[in-house]
């Protein structure tokens, strides 16, 4: 069977203009410069600055089969949205060729394809007509669309008065119910509330698995990508790094930039972290067996995390947090301290060391990202905001030793006391 989408060596170039900075000039300077230019015959000459070519996509090739649910992942600026706009025929590629076999419905940003002056009811018919549906076909789907979008009360209100959430609900409902062969959805679903996002993901699964339609989905929510998609495309710097099964693609993406590869690298990132008049992080150490470790720890032994920092001034309400997140970015648990025996923690100026001890057999044998957060009580967060330590917890056999193979018991291990009584 021929693929429903065939992309062959697609590239997209943009030309960036860099205008030269203009300093503040007084009126006499402007008049003087115009006189000089007139004498030189350059009265209308203007500094146009410089131009630079930027390739958002380079030699991108892949195929998508009917019924595939393809998750497109990558960092900001990787070229994901540019690729979807080309597939949706909103913009043309600079080079390459695309073959699409089927009708495409796109939801790339809030209100895609909607006219702000028309009502919700009118936009449903307008969008359906754009997709090539007859009025009778649109009418047959009308009630389902309105019910799914939950905007019946505002159906005859111009959509320019809708909130962003209402806009997205109606736009997605139209795109999903108009029976396109290919449904393209960008990060726009992040605008909706959690309940509606879940509803949309369920609808995309339904139209793909039960109706055989193809879905291309861009999101930074890796958990949603994992739950919905069976194939993945990982983009970086406008090029495809991997096109494979979704689990393998996500693993490649998550491990592409290890949080640190050596203690020297961690020290460098700490030194480069932004400063604050009230706080400066000096060092972070992960310690096991009385020695500093990098990256790999075992779950059968106590784990210590030590934070060293300077407080240039007296601080009231100081707080330090550690968020333990799984490789999907989901926070498993948070540990923090923000109080002393007298209530809110007040610390004099000086250097301090905070330690946290993780007991043995608490962390499951998976990869954790530990996010460091510091703050002044109820007022503001302190830098660094993006410092993350990655640790790979290895199974020692002390816990779950009756079983072999990969651990599947969750994200944390709890050795809780059990009792057994004969009755």
Predicted local confidence at residue 415, as pLDDT = 67
Q: Is residue 120 part of a domain?
A: yes
Indicate if 216 and 327 belong to the same structural domain. Answer: no
Is the model's pLDDT at 145 over the cut of 70? yes
Predicted local confidence at residue 111, as pLDDT = 61
The pair of structure tokens assigned to 148 is 């799914």
Predicted local confidence at residue 86, as pLDDT = 93
Q: Is residue 400 part of a domain?
A: no
Q: Which residue, 254, 277, 309, sits at the end of a domain?
A: 254
What is the share, in percent, of the chain residues with pLDDT greater than 90?
A: 21
Q: Is residue 76 part of a domain?
A: yes
**Number of folded domains in the chain?**
2
CA 273 to CA 287: how far, in whole Å? 22
250 close to 329: Cβ distance less than 8 angstroms:
no
Is the model's pLDDT at 138 over the cut of 60? yes
CA 263 to CA 295: how far, in whole Å? 9
Indicate if 101 and 121 belong to the same structural domain. Answer: yes
Is the model's pLDDT at 131 over the cut of 50? yes
Predicted local confidence at residue 419, as pLDDT = 59
Q: Is residue 117 part of a domain?
A: yes
CA 198 to CA 200: how far, in whole Å? 5
Indicate if 341 and 371 belong to the same structural domain. Answer: yes
286 close to 388: Cβ distance less than 8 angstroms:
no
CA 113 to CA 95: how far, in whole Å? 26
What is the separation, in whole angstroms, between the first and last Cα of the chain?
63
Assign 196 to helix, strand or coil: helix
CA 148 to CA 152: how far, in whole Å? 10
Boundaries of domain holding 165: 55-254
Indicate the Cα dihedral angle 381, 386, 387, 391, nearest 10°: 120
Predicted local confidence at residue 94, as pLDDT = 94
Is the model's pLDDT at 93 over the cut of 90? yes
CA 351 to CA 340: how far, in whole Å? 17
Indicate if 249 and 268 belong to the same structural domain. Answer: no
pTM, two decimal places: 0.62
For residues 81-96, average pLDDT: 91
> What's the CATH code of the domain at 284?
2.70.50.60
Q: Is residue 104 part of a domain?
A: yes
Indicate if 270 and 383 belong to the same structural domain. Answer: yes
Task: Judge if the upstream peptide bond of residue 307 is cis by omega within 30 degrees of 0.
Answer: no
CA 111 to CA 167: how far, in whole Å? 6
Indicate if 70 and 190 belong to the same structural domain. Answer: yes
Q: Which residues contact 362 (CB under 8 A, 6 or more apart)?
A: 299, 412, 413, 414
CA 321 to CA 336: how far, in whole Å? 4
Residue 422: pLDDT band by 50, 70, 90 thresholds? Answer: low
CA 118 to CA 375: how far, in whole Å? 47
361 close to 300: Cβ distance less than 8 angstroms:
yes
- Residue 410 sits at the vertex; the CA angle it makes with 390 and 194, to the nearest 5 degrees, is 85
Indicate if 324 and 199 belong to the same structural domain. Answer: no
Is the model's pLDDT at 260 over the cut of 50? no
Is the model's pLDDT at 63 over the cut of 90? yes
Q: Is residue 159 part of a domain?
A: yes
For residues 270-298, average pLDDT: 84
Closest CA to 188 of 205, 176, 171: 171
Average per-residue pLDDT for the chain? 81
- Check the CA dihedral 260-265-267-269 and report its sign: negative
Indicate if 305 and 241 belong to the same structural domain. Answer: no
Predicted local confidence at residue 69, as pLDDT = 92
pLDDT digits (tens, 9 = 90+) for 376-416: 876 778 887 667 888 878 766 555 544 444 555 677 776 66
DSSP, res 269: H
Indicate if 342 and 204 belong to the same structural domain. Answer: no
> What's the CATH code of the domain at 202?
3.40.50.300
Q: 21 exposed, middle or buried (CB, 10 Å; 0-12, 13-18, 19+)?
A: exposed
Residue 16: pLDDT band by 50, 70, 90 thresholds? Answer: confident
- Residue 397 sits at the vertex; the CA angle it makes with 395 and 399, to the nearest 5 degrees, is 90
Is the model's pLDDT at 21 over the cut of 70? no
pLDDT digits (tens, 9 = 90+) for 352-382: 998 989 888 888 888 888 888 888 876 778 8
């Amino acid at each position: 069977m021929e693929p429903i989408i065939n992309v062959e060596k697609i590239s997209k170039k943009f030309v960036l203009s860099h205008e030269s900075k203009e300093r503040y000039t007084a009126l006499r300077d402007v008049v003087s410069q115009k006189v000089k230019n007139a004498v030189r015959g350059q009265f209308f000459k203007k500094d146009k600055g410089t131009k630079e070519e930027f390739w958002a996509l380079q030699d991108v090739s892949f195929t998508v089969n009917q019924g595939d649910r393809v998750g497109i992942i990558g960092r900001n600026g990787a070229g994901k949205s540019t690729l979807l706009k080309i597939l949706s025929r909103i913009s043309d590629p600079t080079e390459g060729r695309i073959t699409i076999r089927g009708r495409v419905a796109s939801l790339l940003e809030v209100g895609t394809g909607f006219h702000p002056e028309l009502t919700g009811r009118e936009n449903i018919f307008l969008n359906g007509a754009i997709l090539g549906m007859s009025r009778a076909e649109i009418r047959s789907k009308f009630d389902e669309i309105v019910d799914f979008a939950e905007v019946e009360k505002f159906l005859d209100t111009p959509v320019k008065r809708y909130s962003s959430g209402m806009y997205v609900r109606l736009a997605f409902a139209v795109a999903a119910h108009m029976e396109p062969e290919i449904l393209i959805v960008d990060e726009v679903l992040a605008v909706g509330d959690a309940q509606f996002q879940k509803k949309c993901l369920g609808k995309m699964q339904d139209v793909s698995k039960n109706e055989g339609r193809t879905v291309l989905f861009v999101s930074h929510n890796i958990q949603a990508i994992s739950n919905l998609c069976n194939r993945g495309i990982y983009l970086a710097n406008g090029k495809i790094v991997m096109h494979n099964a979704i689990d393998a693609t996500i693993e490649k993406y998550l491990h592409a930039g290890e949080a640190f590869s050596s203690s020297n690298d961690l020290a460098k990132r700490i030194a480069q972290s932004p400063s604050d008049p009230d706080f400066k992080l000096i060092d972070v150490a992960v310690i096991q067996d009385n020695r500093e470790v990098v990256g790999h720890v075992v779950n059968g032994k106590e784990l210590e995390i030590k934070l060293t920092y300077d407080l240039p001034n007296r601080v009231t309400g100081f707080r330090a947090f550690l968020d333990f997140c799984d490789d999907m970015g989901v926070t498993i648990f948070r540990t923090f301290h923000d109080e002393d025996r007298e209530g809110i923690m007040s610390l004099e100026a000086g250097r301090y060391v905070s330690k946290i001890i993780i007991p043995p057999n608490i962390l499951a044998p998976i990869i954790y990202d530990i996010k460091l957060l510091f703050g002044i009580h109820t007022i503001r967060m302190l830098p660094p905001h993006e410092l993350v330590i990655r640790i790979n917890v290895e199974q020692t056999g002390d816990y779950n030793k009756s079983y072999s193979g990969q651990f599947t018991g969750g994200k944390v291990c709890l050795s809780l006391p059990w009792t057994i009584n004969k009755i």
